[in-house]
Amino acid sequence: MDRIPRTVGLLLFDGFELLDVFGPVELLSRLPDEYTITYLAPDAGPVRSSQGAEVIATASLADPPPSDVVLVPGGSGTRHLATDPAFLERLAAWATPAPLIASVCTGSALLAAAGLLEGYRATSNKRAFDWVTGHGTDVTWVPQARWVHDRDRWTSSGVAAGMDMTAALIGHLSGPEAAATAAREIELEVRTDPDRDPFAVQYGLA
């Protein structure tokens, strides 16, 4: 992970959650000397988000470029993909060599279903927590967490929580001043406590 800039591979799929992707992208793009971003999908080309916006994936999981950081979003499309063996095999093949793997929201269900969270602590969207935690066989799911960092895995709670996780990730990789600069430039008041999770209480998980 000493290579600069680090390549962040962002996975897209039909039905991805827009803010899961572009919240982190907004922060990472404020540090262009530190991070370059590549958009991948099961097939290269236009990919439609849950909100109907189309984004162009320039690379395919069939022949993915290596990534220093793999980032998997959530969204309605995860429900189908979590039971798609061909997709999960490709996801695992691409992500496993990466020095760092992260997810936002129900993206952690895809990581778990692909075997990428075995032996790790992880969290996810609290509204979908019961569904997400049905994936993986040796995952320690943390019900009350804004995000969880366990060694080379980072997972966040739902949607907007991905921005807090990304700020923490930038701080981990590039230093606290870089994270503060990125947040300041987009006027984001970051939550810095990974255990502060009021939504876990609202959904009866804590």
Q: Are 104 and 134 in contact (CB under 8 A)?
A: no
Per-residue pLDDT 10s for the chain (206 aa) are: 677 899 999 999 999 999 999 999 999 999 999 999 999 999 999 999 999 999 999 999 999 999 999 999 999 999 999 999 999 999 999 999 999 999 999 999 999 999 999 999 999 999 999 999 999 999 999 999 999 999 999 999 999 999 999 999 999 999 999 999 999 999 999 999 999 999 999 999 98
Q: Are 61 and 89 in contact (CB under 8 A)?
A: no
What does each C-alpha distance from 194 to 44, 71, 94, 107, 183 come to in angstroms?
Answer: 34, 18, 28, 18, 16
For 101, the token pair is 């793997």
Asked about 105 being catalytic, the answer comes back as: yes
Q: Residues near 143 by Cβ (< 8 Å), separated by ≥ 6? A: 123, 126, 129, 200, 205, 206
pLDDT of residue 46: 98
pLDDT of residue 134: 98
CATH topology of domain 6-199: Rossmann fold (3.40.50)
In whole angstroms, give the CA distance from residue 103 to residue 16.
12
- Which is it for the CA torsion 136, 66, 16, 46, positive or negative? negative
In whole angstroms, give the CA distance from residue 161 to residue 32.
22
SS3 138: coil
- Which is it for the CA torsion 169, 173, 176, 177, positive or negative? negative
11, 105, 116, 190: which is the annotated catalytic residue?
105
pLDDT of residue 1: 63
